[in-house]
């Protein structure tokens, strides 16, 4: 299958770009904001101010390009634990994301006007649930779409296939985005499947499958935009395979040197999505180093203000661990809740 690509590895356009100057700048700023958050989150984890954190360095374009196509108050985002960049771009406040990765109940859930489900930790559970959310939008007579993310390893799970089949049969307005970074933690993609491309599996469900350069923001944005428009027209789901690479470890507890080479990571660092997009803007005369410096100051100020907000959140109460699981607490849950409150 051909891979959709608009920028070469240095960021020079390979063809006419489908986005205007304002959109290109908007996209670059969103990429830089995501990278800034990721770098700060890793530092906070090292300082003991964040729990185990899954970095996404290198995968920003694959997430930001999709989120930029969605309307937070109208569409739905169902992210796995890797998609903090998508959540940030979709409209999740930074302080909520910090609290979420602190496992603080104050970080659970999205604020009004942001239709995002909490990050999924189980693998592939989100696919059938996203298909249901998308189908529900259609039943409600809305033109809203749902976007769901999964890694290449997750496509080996039954939930992936069941969700895609359901969405295809019922023409659910769904985008299924596979971030294929070549590894399912320490297992390479070639040991997970026989097909050359995950997008080929779309043929088995009778839906379009697209392969895109996941480190090329313009390409991801363009492909996702077409899939969203198709879904809004009632033409059903699209499977998007974004070829990308997570330069960072699987989580802050991982040591990638045990299963992959430094040379491999260096090759992908040379294709860094942010450097490519910045070079694209510089090539088109849309950006300058002065604007880059101002953006850095802006991002730093925003993050520090949001971090202060997160730090002021009240300490979670022990009994909150058993709350908000069911609409009505079950007997064993109720007993635990009373015990933790000192009422037993």
Which residue in the list 102, 201, 230, 250 is annotated as catalytic?
Answer: 250
Residue 78 near residue 49, CB atoms below 8 Å: no
What ranges make up the beta strands (E) of the chain?
Answer: 3-4, 76-78, 146-151, 174-180, 183-184, 187-188, 209-213, 238-243
Which residue in the list 82, 102, 230, 246 is annotated as catalytic?
Answer: 246
Residue at token pair 């899939």? 227
Residue 150 near residue 177, CB atoms below 8 Å: yes
What sign does the dihedral 220-224-118-93 (CA atoms) show? positive
DSSP conformational letter for 215: T
Tell me the longest C-alpha to C-alpha distance in the chain. 69
Q: Catalytic: 6?
A: no
What φ, ψ does residue 326 adopt, rounded to 5°?
-120, 155
Q: Catalytic: 259?
A: yes
Helices and strands of the chain, counted as H and E runs:
11, 8
What sign does the dihedral 166-168-169-170 (CA atoms) show? positive
Q: How many residues does the chain have?
A: 344
Pairing of strands 238-243, 209-213: parallel
Q: Which residues pair with 116 in a beta bridge?
A: 77
Which residue in the list 259, 266, 317, 339 is annotated as catalytic?
Answer: 259
Q: Which residues are catalytic?
A: 246, 250, 259
């Amino acid at each position: 299958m051909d891979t959709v690509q608009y920028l070469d590895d240095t960021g020079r356009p390979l063809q006419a770009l489908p986005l205007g100057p304002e959109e290109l700048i908007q996209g670059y700023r969103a990429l830089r904001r995501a990278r800034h958050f990721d770098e700060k989150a890793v530092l906070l984890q090292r300082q003991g101010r964040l729990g185990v954190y899954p970095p996404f360095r290198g995968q920003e374009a694959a997430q930001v390009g999709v989120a930029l196509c969605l309307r937070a108050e109208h569409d739905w985002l169902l992210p796995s634990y890797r998609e903090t960049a998508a959540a940030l771009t979709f409209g999740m406040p930074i302080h909520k994301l910090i609290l979420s990765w602190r496992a603080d109940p104050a970080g659970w859930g999205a604020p009004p006007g942001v239709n995002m489900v909490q990050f999924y930790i189980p693998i592939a559970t989100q696919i059938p649930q996203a298909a249901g959310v998308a189908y529900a939008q259609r039943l409600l007579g809305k033109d809203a779409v749902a976007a769901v993310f999964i890694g290449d390893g997750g496509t080996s799970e039954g939930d992936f296939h069941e969700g895609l089949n359901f969405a295809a049969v019922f023409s659910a307005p769904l985008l299924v985005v596979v971030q294929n970074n070549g590894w399912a933690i320490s297992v390479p993609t070639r040991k997970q499947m026989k097909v050359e491309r995950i997008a080929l599996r779309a043929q088995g469900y009778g839906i379009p499958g697209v392969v895109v350069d996941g480190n090329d923001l313009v390409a991801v944005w363009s492909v996702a935009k077409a899939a969203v428009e198709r879904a809004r027209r009632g033409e059903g789901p699209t499977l998007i395979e974004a070829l990308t690479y997570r330069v960072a470890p699987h989580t802050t507890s991982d040591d990638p040197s045990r299963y992959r080479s430094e040379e491999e990571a260096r090759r992908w660092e040379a294709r860094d999505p942010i450097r490519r997009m910045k070079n694209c803007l510089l090539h088109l005369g849309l950006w300058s180093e002065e604007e880059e410096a101002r953006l850095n100051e802006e991002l730093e100020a925003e993050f520090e203000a949001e971090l202060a907000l997160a730090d002021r959140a009240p300490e979670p109460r022990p009994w909150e661990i058993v709350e908000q699981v069911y609409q009505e607490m079950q007997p064993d849950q109720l007993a635990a809740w009373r015990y933790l409150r000192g009422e037993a």
